[in-house]
Structure 1
Amino acid sequence: MSLVLNSPLVSVSWLSEHLAEPDLVVLDASWFMPGAERDGEQEWKIKRIPGARYFDFDKKIAQPDSPWPHMLPSEILFATEVAKLGISNSSTIIVYDSQGVFSAPRVWWMFRAMGHSAVAVLDGGLPAWEAAGEAIETGESTLPSPGLFTAALQAKWVIGGDELQLRLADHHTQIFDARPAARFYGLQPEPRAGVRSGHMPQAKSLPSSQLLKDGYFLPVVQIKQRFDALSDPQQQLIFSCGSGVTACILALAAELSGRDNLTVYDGSWTEWGSTYRYPVVS
């Protein structure tokens, strides 16, 4: 591997400098909330960072037939689909989205959960790339040559609802909820039908928006202050949100701040709030 990533976050200047490296793969992971009436793949076809491939974690690279949206797929499905994107185990992957930082961390987390550590998110995303005057590619995209990828699930990165329920009273664990505070406290209804309002017992509210400014992550020292104020450095941190997307913003931010015992609740509030055996408070 010719490229070395020193951080899970890279700048526009770093990507511009390394864009032509043969082992580098750029992924557009743009995704929008239900009801936004926007299509990430269609927008990628219209405008993208040169050479970027579209990573569809919502429908294509997701567990099929799950009652919950865009759940982490099996190792075999993941490996098969990412190989189609020209990705190999030797690839260095940079992920971005069209909103600055929103859905790209989800794909960063998926690769980490599947055992691939050479992956980072573009800070500021496509808006930052455009603002810097960098080149934009449009029109049809050339299909890449298939890669060779083997996935190896890292269980520490992901947790299910039943296991999480057993951990609620564990003082070695802190659960963070990335949803807006109004949803956390049950003051605003959930956007998905049939999902209860409120939050898990023992969870703390840390809206993902509090770790970002203008589509960029806050300075690491400020991010570290947020986590240190709400959790002990030795605790395992478990991240939840509406459907497992913005929880990954928190996971990436926590890694930036030096935390290393990080887990994402994949089903997040869509599963928890819909499963009536799980306790809810407000």
Structure 2
Amino acid sequence: MNKPVVSVEWLFRNLDSQNLIIFDATIPKVTAKKEVSSDEKQQIKDAIFFDIQKTFSDENAPFSNTVLSAKAFEEKAQQIGISKDSCIVVYDDLGIYSSPRVWWMFQLMGFTNIAVLDGGFPAWSSKNYPTEKPTNHQPKKGDFIANYQSEKIKYTADVLSSIESDSFLIVDVRSKGRFLGTELEPRKDVKGGRIPNSVSLPYSEIVENNFMKSEKDLRSVFNKINPKNKDFIFSCGSGITASVLAFGAEIAGIKNHSVYDGSWTEWGSTEGLPIEK
């Protein structure tokens, strides 16, 4: 992979590649009114379900979607067939929503031969490319090795120390209403508001009709909010859509970015942290 994003046409042409692994990383939006029933669910042919919320998050952590340790990630990636020479394409049913989280997790683990499917399943099905009902494909164990890249992740202490820093820009990916504290948080017991000195850039502003905006448009969006070229720290509700911004920054050729893994769920439910409204 020489780019972090591929088209459905590219994937269709390469479906029979020997080292290709396709992941369905669909999760429901936390604000969703209704989930797709299992009877309606379809997936790209030969796709493997990548379970972000259970298998690939630390279920013993106090906050949802907490990334695994390098060792745990390595073991679970091997179990679903990932090897050192694998070529991964990841998608989700909402176009661009949870799939960049998987892309970001692999970047964190030092694996870069992975791309997000632009337009996701809606774009694939619109072309009448081959689909199937969810199938329990059983790949043989892989030899994936994690090479943890600590600069790609931030924790609460890092964010707290960055609030007054001239070196970092904290970007909040949630909706404008949640950023301003005028909308209730979807998670119970999480306060409203925002991290002091953070700026708002909802992830929906870099996605258009389920596709990522162009490299040129993405660069313009990021340069507009960050004219001094500070290091980005992306934050959202629980780390999922912050990864969309990290993905967008990568497409735009921006390398100085990281994701606050706990994001607002952790910040807004931890006593003693400063909150602006």
Structure 1 length as normaliser, TM-score? 0.94
Distance 1:159 1:115 in 2: 16
How many positions carry a matched residue from both structures? 276
Pairs within 5 Å for 1:52-201:
52-201=47-196
Retained in 1: the 8 A contact 2:48–2:137? Answer: no
Residue 133 of structure 1: how far off its partner (Å): 1.5
Aligned with 2:20 (options 1, 20, 24):
24
Residue 234 of structure 1: how far off its partner (Å): 3.3
Q: Unaligned regions of 5+ residues in structure 1, if any?
A: none
Retained in 2: the 8 A contact 1:224–1:257? Answer: yes
Matched with 1:222 is 217
Query: Partner amino acid for 1:155?
Result: S
1:90 is paired with a residue whose SS is coil
1:146 is paired with a residue whose SS is coil
Identity %, equivalent residues: 36
Residue 138 of structure 1: how far off its partner (Å): 2.0
Matched with 1:7 is 3
Distance 2:137 2:114 in 1: 22
Distance 1:124 1:115 in 2: 25
* 2:32 equivalent to 1:38: no
Residue 6 of structure 1: how far off its partner (Å): 1.8
Pairs within 5 Å for 1:245-260:
245-260=240-255
Distance 1:233 1:275 in 2: 31
Structure 2 length as normaliser, TM-score? 0.96
Distance 1:139 1:205 in 2: 37
Distance 1:98 1:83 in 2: 24
Retained in 1: the 8 A contact 2:31–2:186? Answer: no
2:44 is paired with a residue whose SS is coil
The one-character-per-residue Cα deviations of 1:191-225 (angstroms, maximum 9, x if unpaired) are 11111111111110000001111111111211111
Query: Partner amino acid for 1:20?
Result: D
Distance 1:242 1:23 in 2: 34
The one-character-per-residue Cα deviations of 1:30-62 (angstroms, maximum 9, x if unpaired) are 00134645379x579x41111110111101111
Retained in 2: the 8 A contact 1:233–1:259? Answer: no
Query: Partner amino acid for 2:197?
Result: Q
1:25 is paired with a residue whose SS is strand
Matched with 2:232 is 237
Distance 2:42 2:185 in 1: 32
Shift in CA distance, 137/68, structure 1 to aligned 2, threshold 3 Å? same
Query: Partner amino acid for 1:19?
Result: L
Runs of 4+ with >3 A deviation: 34-37
Query: Partner amino acid for 1:123?
Result: D
Shift in CA distance, 76/8, structure 1 to aligned 2, threshold 3 Å? same
Aligned Cα RMSD in Å?
Answer: 1.6
* 2:256 equivalent to 1:261: yes
